[in-house]
Amino acid sequence: MHISLDKQVALVTGASSGLGYACAKGLAAAGASVVINYNSQAEPAEKLAAEIRQQGGQAIAVQGDVSSQDDVNHLIAQAVENFGGLDILVANSGLQKDAPIGEMTLQEWQKVIDVNLTGQFLTAQAALLQFRKQKGQRQVSRATGKIIHVSSVHQVIPWAGHVNYAASKGGVDLLMRSIAQEVGEEQIRVNSIAPGAIATAINAENTEGDAAKKLLELIPYGRIGAAEDVANAVVWLASDLSDYVHGTTLFIDGGMTLYPEFRGNG
């Protein structure tokens, strides 16, 4: 069995580092042309785009803040202008601004909701309008278009000290399922992935050294994830191999959502 995303165009938001970076790389390796979105870190995004082109693929890096509708429209326009359309959206941009509930500022709350939830709404909406516009014109996949929301295990696991983040990811779950229910009949396929503890910059202080040992107690499978674990799943979800998978969340968490604290307890 071979996964090919040949002739397909993917937009990955927040792709200058971490999961987005790995997803952009994985999608390009599977043959997709990739729009690598970044907000503030141009250099790694440009570097990845150049690397993909050197290896014979197609990629461009485009700046844009996913919480701005104008920026999101610009990202889609760049995909169409440079590569002729859009087939895959990986709505990945996300951030954390952690604080105990009593100390969390309105700004910290709002920023996380703006990027992690409103950003997912704006990018999904813009992608879906583009899918509708090009319906019947692109014979590159069984689906008319594919949207992959990047959620988190914290769409189901409450997270003290991170209420903004957990609320945003809980929101992503119902955003995804409601969109999936609404647009399924148009053969637009909508799913989420929910990564657990993956070693990236967002959680570097928890995934290294002594903190890593503590974290491992929460992971039945016994290792912290790598960004490639997530990218591999995204490539599959973007491909026709998962064509009947719609409106679901794929947890990529080494079993973190199995609540391992309950082993021999409760």
Q: Which is nearer to ligand BGC, 125 or 232 (CB)?
A: 232
Which residue, 81, 84, 82, 44, is CA-closest to 227?
Answer: 44
Which residue, 157, 163, 162, 148, is CA-closest to 253?
Answer: 157
Marked catalytic residue, from 165, 221, 244, 259: 165
Asked if 99 and 150 count as a contact pair (C-beta separation under 8 A), the reply is: no
Instruction: Answer yes or no whether residue 25 interacts with ligand BGC by CB under 6 A.
Output: no
Instruction: Answer yes or no whether residue 17 interacts with ligand BGC by CB under 6 A.
Output: no
Instruction: Answer yes or no whether residue 206 interacts with ligand BGC by CB under 6 A.
Output: yes
Instruction: Answer yes or no whether residue 13 interacts with ligand BGC by CB under 6 A.
Output: no
Instruction: Answer yes or no whether residue 154 interacts with ligand BGC by CB under 6 A.
Output: yes
3-state SS assignment for residue 7: coil
3-state SS assignment for residue 104: coil
Determine the size of the site formed for ligand BGC (CB under 6 A): 9
Instruction: Answer yes or no whether residue 63 interacts with ligand BGC by CB under 6 A.
Output: no
Choosing from 99, 140, 156, 202, the residue that interacts with ligand BGC (CB under 6 A) is 202
For residue 56, the tally of other CB atoms under 10 A from its CB is: 7
- Which strands make up the sheet holding 249-252, listed edge to edge? 59-63, 33-38, 9-12, 88-91, 145-150, 188-195, 249-252
Q: Which is nearer to ligand BGC, 128 or 215 (CB)?
A: 215
Binders of ligand BGC among residues 76 to 135 (CB under 6 A) are 96
Cα separation, 185 vs 176, whole angstroms? 15
Instruction: Answer yes or no whether residue 197 interacts with ligand BGC by CB under 6 A.
Output: yes
In the residue annotation, 165 being an active-site residue is answered as: yes
Cα separation, 115 vs 205, whole angstroms? 22
Instruction: Answer yes or no whether residue 163 interacts with ligand BGC by CB under 6 A.
Output: no
Which are the catalytic amino acids?
165
Per CB under 6 A, residues contacting ligand BGC are 96, 152-154, 196-197, 202-203, 206
